[in-house]
Amino acid sequence: MTELHISWDDYHAKIEQLAVKVYQSQWEFNQILCLARGGLRIGDILSRIYNRPLAILSVSSYSGEEGNVRGELHFARSITMSTKQLGDRVLLVDDLVDSGVTLKETLVWLKQHPEYAIADVKTAVLWYKACSVIAPDFYVDYLSDSPWIHQPFGRYEQIKPEDLLP
């Protein structure tokens, strides 16, 4: 498996490139929903750029000592948001689509929760891997060789609090 190493500067540049792609599409949305954990930073920055409220749905599928073993998908019971209700035109944000299962199942989960009353949802990621079962609506890089991506915050998955002591 090939590997892709991303610096903080590259990471932030990719988020800005994603913001431009969404903008150039002229698609209007009134809410950003990010998938935690991978989509948190992206959702936060897009929320600031677009001045749209941010909502968070916690979803996890990776486990193991190094966080790289794909397992069963687990969803939070509800979406966390600071607005009274979720907007009806949602930009669903994550960092990448690897297998695509998380993104695909999140769209199913949203349809199963009519209390959110979503009329339109589009998906946005930084990296779209060829091995994905779903194509995102917006993405920055298509990765035909589906590499393992080392994101700049990944180092924190190896650090324990005591490692930070002087």
Each residue's pLDDT expressed in tens, for the chain with a length of 166 residues: 799 999 999 999 999 999 999 999 999 999 999 999 999 999 999 999 999 999 999 998 755 555 555 568 999 999 999 899 999 999 999 999 999 999 999 999 999 999 999 999 999 999 999 999 999 999 999 999 989 999 999 888 889 999 999 9
CA 36 – CA 13 distance, rounded (Å): 20
First to last CA, the chain: 36
Structure tokens at 40: 């948190």
Check: CB of residue 88 under 8 Å from CB of residue 77: no
Closest by CA position to 25, among listed 142, 141, 138: 138
Residue 139 CB partners (closer than 8 Å, separation 6+): 18, 21, 97, 124, 125, 126, 127, 128
Report pLDDT for 157. 87
Name the CATH topology of 3-61+73-153: Rossmann fold (3.40.50)
**Per DSSP, what are the bridge partners of residue 60?**
74
Count the residues in the chain.
166
Backbone angles phi, psi at 152, to 5 degrees: -60, -25
